[in-house]
Structure 1
Amino acid sequence: MRVLVINGNPKPASLCQGLALSYALGARAAGHTLRVREVGQLDYEPDLRHGYDAPAPLEPDLLQMQHDLQWAEHLLLVAPVWWGTLPARMQGLLERVLLPGFAFRYHAGRAQPEPLLAGRSAELMITLDTPAWYYRYWQGAPVERQLRRAVLELVGIKVGRCRYLGPVRSADDARRARWLDEAKTLGATLI
């Protein structure tokens, strides 16, 4: 299977980066073909200044990301929760790459756009500084709901499992090592 792994944490040497790379190791060992992209290493303007009213030319890294999305059969998106949502750079990547005509198409008289990235699957790995139960049940898991319903499934990508890891801030080295091992196992048994 062709797998695209996206690290949505713009910080270098983050736990998200380690999780993405561990997942990739497991997936490669299982015989899958991988591409790994790190949002912090991509060169692009994350702000969609005029919404979708005025097209903004895509930088080479965004054109490559579109190519990677078309190539991929499965995606893993690893991202931290910052202030209850995605980091701005990751949000900007979604806004700039998942454009009308590429990821979806509007039709007159239809409330929902036509998804153009159907036939792909995805899974999510979300890191938190709060306990996972608190984020899911008290705060309502806004990142998962956004990515699952309002972004990926809207463009046709079926989202399977979502794994929460937290609280990261208080996790010791042994716990972080277990999370990295879990990510490798998930990559080896991807859905």
Structure 2
Amino acid sequence: MTKRILILIGHPGETSFTASLAQAYAEGARTKGHEVRIMALADMQFDPNLAGGYNSIQALEPGLVTFQEAVTWCNHLAIAHPLWWGMMPAKLKGLFDRAFLPGFAFKYLETSPFPAQLLKGRSAEVLVAADTPVWWLYLVYRAGGYRALKRQILGFCGFSPVKFRTFAPVRGSSLEKRQSWLDEARKLGAKN
């Protein structure tokens, strides 16, 4: 079955290892005949601050509208981002704050404390580049940023399953190690 895959490069800079992971994932997905769209957070110009909360929704900048359209189009979302201070970069969190709004990503219900998940029927995979060793990230830090993204953002809106793959530690890694990670990202993209 052909999938429609949106790949989001969630690094706010123009070049990064996470962008390379995203490109490798795209290459793998294309080998299986999937339709692939790539969006880069660095190319999107928007105010990441949802200043009024949900009480006064800000007008969406063109990049946010395009992102919402791409999320609506896809049935699988792949996000590649670095791990900064245990979680995603602030601009990426701002993208979710601004774009995953009531009426688009979820809807509050009068009859239930739980919202309707308006993005149901989509899966997600998150590729994370980190300097923290994977075992330390899970055993000591308990991967809090991962849990928030999985359960309180993507899962809250209906994405299921949500899978994570951590590539770490990036700092000090050899060229050969990074190439093996890119090969792995390519295989992950081909698994869809």
Q: Which bin holds the TM-score, normalised by the shorter protein?
A: over 0.9
CA deviation after TM superposition for structure 1 residue 146, in Å: 0.9
CA deviation after TM superposition for structure 1 residue 159, in Å: 2.8
Report the 3-state secondary structure (helix = DSSP H, G, I; strand = E; otherwise coil) of the residue aligned with 1:111.
Answer: strand
Alpha-carbon distance between aligned partners in 2 of 1:128 and 1:136, rounded to the nearest angstrom: 12
Alignment of 1:12-161 (within 5 A): 12-161=14-163
Alpha-carbon distance between aligned partners in 2 of 1:110 and 1:160, rounded to the nearest angstrom: 24
CA deviation after TM superposition for structure 1 residue 105, in Å: 0.3
Residues 106 and 114, structure 1, Cα contact 8 Å, conserved in 2:
yes
List per-residue Cα deviations over 1:5-43 (Å, max 9, x = no partner): 011111222010000001001101110000001111111
Residues 152 and 159, structure 1, Cα contact 8 Å, conserved in 2:
no
Alpha-carbon distance between aligned partners in 2 of 1:159 and 1:63, rounded to the nearest angstrom: 25
Report the 3-state secondary structure (helix = DSSP H, G, I; strand = E; otherwise coil) of the residue aligned with 2:71.
Answer: helix
Which ranges in structure 1 are unaligned for 5 or more consecutive residues? Answer: none
Alpha-carbon distance between aligned partners in 2 of 1:137 and 1:185, rounded to the nearest angstrom: 27
Alpha-carbon distance between aligned partners in 1 of 2:177 and 2:163, rounded to the nearest angstrom: 21
Aligned-partner residue type, residue 184 of structure 1: R
CA deviation after TM superposition for structure 1 residue 161, in Å: 2.5
- Consecutive aligned runs of 4 or more in structure 1 exceeding 6 Å deviation: none
CA deviation after TM superposition for structure 1 residue 62, in Å: 0.3
1:175 aligned partner:
177
Which ranges in structure 2 are unaligned for 5 or more consecutive residues? Answer: none
Residues 87 and 146, structure 2, Cα contact 8 Å, conserved in 1:
no
Aligned-partner residue type, residue 62 of structure 1: L
Aligned positions, number: 190
CA RMSD of aligned residues (A): 0.9
CA deviation after TM superposition for structure 1 residue 160, in Å: 3.7
CA deviation after TM superposition for structure 1 residue 109, in Å: 3.8
Aligned-partner residue type, residue 8 of structure 1: G
Residues 2 and 33, structure 1, Cα contact 8 Å, conserved in 2:
yes
- Choose the corresponding residue for 2:5, options 3, 6, 10: 3
Residues 5 and 35, structure 2, Cα contact 8 Å, conserved in 1:
yes
Percent of pairs identical after alignment? 39
List per-residue Cα deviations over 1:98-147 (Å, max 9, x = no partner): 00000000012421111000001111111111101101111011121011
Aligned-partner residue type, residue 14 of structure 2: P
Alpha-carbon distance between aligned partners in 2 of 1:28 and 1:57, rounded to the nearest angstrom: 35
Residues 155 and 162, structure 2, Cα contact 8 Å, conserved in 1:
no
